[in-house]
Structure 1
Amino acid sequence: MTADAAGVTSSMWLELGAAPFRVEFPVIGGVRTRVLVAGSGPGLILLHGTGGHLEAYQKNVVPLSQHFTVIVPDMIGHGYTDRPDLDYTLDDYADHAFGLLDHYGFEQAFVSGESIGGCVAVWMALRSPRRVRALVLNTGILERPDAAGLKQLEDLEVRTQRLAEGLSLEAVRRRMEWLVYDPSIMTDEMIAVRRAIYSQPGMVADVQKIMHAVIEMNRGPYAGGDYIQKDRLPEVSCPTQVLWSDHNPGKPYARVKPAIELIPNVETHVIKNAAHWPQYEQPEHVNTLMIEFLLGVDGR
């Protein structure tokens, strides 16, 4: 944990403790899945990024749950969810997410994703337009990086590979600091949570496999299929909000802007002083933008 200027210790319980929530382990398509559920109203599923887990949204659950039934899973292969032997394609993730929506009784829902979660969200909207009421894409879109951006993504893969050399708190911190503009914002508590998750037997090897699959998707077509296809973006039929950042590694805003503009009904916001986790780095701004957008979807 870290302390702010007033000496107050930061903890996810300060973020989550202001509203009721529950953590469950339903079996979705044979996969035991950790899910945090909070609030009531229209369904809103939040999908984290590669190697992540539901705690990535610890600063967003309470505000969003005042308006929506917020469903935050550890995606298939991640966190404390089962890790079946799959290729971990966008179809694999989408199948699991649709299964979650079915389990919680939502024929249609809002879908938001960060990083690869954003790509999964788009893929869900392309596969089943009737089921996705609106999208919020948080540093994740179907656009490949340029050579410089690919090198930045490969740096994250290297940091992930080094976890096999020793799962120290410092090694975990080095990987997670890639996600944020200001490394000091990454709390000791979040590092400890990530280390505990990665300490599960076989977890580091599985995270390395998943990370490699994401890199291969971003390089181009691979054994699992061709998924990062910006030419599919004009097919997105639902209202879409894109939240990018001014320091996003791998895919800076200038790189993705032409792809964003292919989405027919889209609004875009560039979050200042943030890198790959704007929902964690600038939560008040992100929460406000998401709530205003999603509550106004019917008017769009």
Structure 2
Amino acid sequence: MKGSKSRSILPGFGLSLGFTIFYLSVIVLIPLAGVFVKTAGLTWEQFWDTVTNARVLASYRISLLTALAAALINLVFGLLIAWVLVRYRFPGKKLIDSLVDLPFALPTAVAGIALTAIYAPNGWMGSLLTPLGIKVAFTPIGITIALIFIGLPFVVRTVQPVLQDLDKDVEEAAVMLGAYRWRTFRRIIMPELIPPLLTGFALAFARGIGEYGSVVFISGNMPLKTEIAPLLIMTKLEQHDYSGATAIALVMLVASFVMLLIINYLQWRSNRRVAAV
């Protein structure tokens, strides 16, 4: 006799949840727990001296500020690029759409070498900017440009599907009722785009904080000036100072986690506001 509920041929909730927890534990939670365990070998004084060293604090500042600046720039231009790709038809559109994903496919070391060659004082762009007193390579500006390059696809690919799914009839109705284009964009389109924009910003920012390959070449790696936190972690690992490396990594991990929590909270608030309208 058949039961009241038909069984699915796919695995049930229990098995799926168990596999999910196991997979996340092996791939994410256990490695992160290793950072805490290794850092626990330091006393509080040793930990504090390590993470508040002048060189370490400078690397935090450079990593966080350049990642934040790059994510904010990508927020604006990522939205612009996504808008153009969705709302307009023009020759070469598919090519440009494919180029957006290039930073995903290109090895970060190759991107770093290419950017350094272009923006070095004797490079194609550097030779034009240097006479104007603008130095890009081996400065925080160069680091920011590298992070813009690797972070742009996160914003574009997060916003693009939402733009494609927006109902254009609502926009046309607003225009027919006398709303100006800017007001239509601000009151109708923008509220729908805030959640994906926050998601894209968070992804680009998180990627920028931990980026190493594309930055290590163009930064110049000058302590207290252009040395990023991931490079300092690698330096301590090469010196076999594993506890010091994990201490710096722990601070970066906590900072990234707090930032993601804040952005997720803002995204939740934005979703609630849109749903209430």
Give the structure-2-normalised TM-score.
0.24
Comparing both chains, which one has the higher relative contact order based on Cα–Cα distances under 8 Å and sequence gaps of 6 or more? 2
Say which structure is richer in helix: 2
**Which structure's CA Rg is the greater one?**
2
Give the TM-score normalised by the residue count of structure 1: 0.22
Q: Which structure is higher in strand share?
A: 1
